[in-house]
Amino acid sequence: MEQTTHYPESVRQWLQSPLGEQLVQLESRIVEEAIDGVFGEQCLQLGLWGEANTFLKHSRSQRQWRIDPGAPNGSPSCIGEFHRLPIQDDSIDCVLLPHVLDYSDRPHAILREVDRVLTTHGHIIILGFKTGGLWGVRRLVPGAGLPPDAHHLVPERSLRDWLQLLDMRIHGAVRYFFRWPLPTFRGATSPKWEQRGQRWWPELAACYMLTAQKRVSPLTPVRPVWRRKPKVVAGLANSTNRVSRIKFESKS
């Protein structure tokens, strides 16, 4: 069977549009800030979003890998399914998911696999499209230049709940990309414009980024009930002995 990439070919073409190029450039800067303090041996990216080195070039880890179901331009380090990663348990320090969940009908399985391969205190960085916001009017705008075939958008609140069920600590959330969703629209791209949007109208953002960290609850050993020493009530032994002695003396 011929293998295909996780993202449809139409997505690659969209990313080469003015709007898509602006999005990838902004996301590269946002991921750079998020990954700045994340260190370790292994950093893994799922899927090809933009160029092959768009995000991994910012990693502080010793080794960088990328997994994809197929072999598009910029061949991946490994070919595999996201819901069945060919990676051993507890071996990756940071995992990047650039819009992977937006194009998957198995988001829970992917997150469980990410949790499996992450080391203790490992980090996860997820980029996703908002279900509302400025781009929520896409159905009212003929020819809106939204990413095609993104049929599985995950609301930010739902993603938070899923991560917490996996016992991951949410570190932060960034809502970004305040652009009108038209393919040839070249709106303001300055950092100041993004800062204003994040401060004054974050709900109008087109995308969001969630960062979280895996945590392992410490186990406190509990002594089994049958091994506990029986408690002795103070004074009970003395009272019993005294009574016994009195009975003994009375017989004599």
**Helix/strand/coil (H, E, C) string of 148-171?**
CCCCCCCCHHHHHHHHHHCCEEEE
- Domain assignment present for 198: yes
**End-to-end alpha carbon distance in the chain:** 101
- Domain assignment present for 239: no
Could you tell me which residue, 19 or 142, shows the higher pLDDT? 19
pLDDT at 187: 56
Average pLDDT in the 127-154 region? 75
Confidence band for 251, pLDDT divided at 50, 70 and 90: very low
Average pLDDT in the 21-44 region? 93
Residue 227 CA: distances (Å) to CA of 150, 179, 219, 221, 223? 58, 66, 19, 13, 7
pLDDT at 32: 96
- Domain assignment present for 2: no
- Domain assignment present for 69: yes
Could you tell me which residue, 33 or 192, shows the higher pLDDT? 33
pLDDT tens per residue, range 73-101: 566 678 889 999 999 999 999 999 999 99
Instruction: Give residue 80's domain range.
Output: 9-214
The enclosing domain of 22 has a CATH number of 3.40.50.150
Q: What share of residues in the chain are helix, strand, coil (percent, to 5)?
A: 35, 20, 45
Secondary structure of residue 56 in the 3-state scheme:
helix
- Domain assignment present for 235: no
Confidence band for 112, pLDDT divided at 50, 70 and 90: very high
- Domain assignment present for 197: yes
Average pLDDT in the 119-128 region? 96
Average pLDDT in the 223-243 region? 46
Q: How many domains does the chain contain in total? A: 1
- Domain assignment present for 252: no
Identify any residues that bridge with 59 across adjacent strands, giving them in sequence order.
Answer: none
Helices (runs of H) and strands (runs of E) counted in the chain: 6, 7
pLDDT tens per residue, range 163-217: 999 999 999 999 998 877 765 555 555 666 666 666 767 788 889 999 999 987 6
Measure the CA–CA gap between 200 and 208, rounded to whole angstroms.
15
- Domain assignment present for 28: yes
pLDDT at 183: 59
Average pLDDT in the 33-60 region? 93
